[in-house]
Amino acid sequence: MLDDHGVKGDSAAMKTDPERQRRLRELTELHRRWQAEHRVDDADFTPDGADSENRRPPSPEAEREYMRRAREIMGLDPDTGHYREA
């Protein structure tokens, strides 16, 4: 099920954790901007599917940029993806 922001997840958890809500909204916005900037077709939403000859996959650099920023949003170390030490 998708929430009001188009994010999949447990709606009860989404309603009870404002920080999780903020992070998921920020991830959604990051993904939207990243796709537009790098002219990437998301495999899940490409009309012809992920294996289409017409699909525009991200470059390795664009993938690294996205993962690094997504990790930061989720509070993880952007280089390793591990939880940060408190």
The pLDDT tens digits for 11-46 are 665 567 999 999 999 999 999 999 889 888 766 656
Cβ atoms of 42 and 35 closer than 8 Å: yes
Helix 18-38 and helix 60-73, axial crossing angle in degrees, nearest 10? 160
Separation of alpha carbons 64 and 68, rounded Å: 6
Given this model, what pLDDT does residue 41 score?
74
pTM: 0.69
Task: Give 3-26 as a DSSP string.
Answer: -TTS-BS-HHHHHH-HHHHHHHHH
Name the 3-class secondary structure at 2. Answer: strand
Separation of alpha carbons 17 and 1, rounded Å: 17
pLDDT per residue as tens digits for the range 47-57: 665 666 777 78
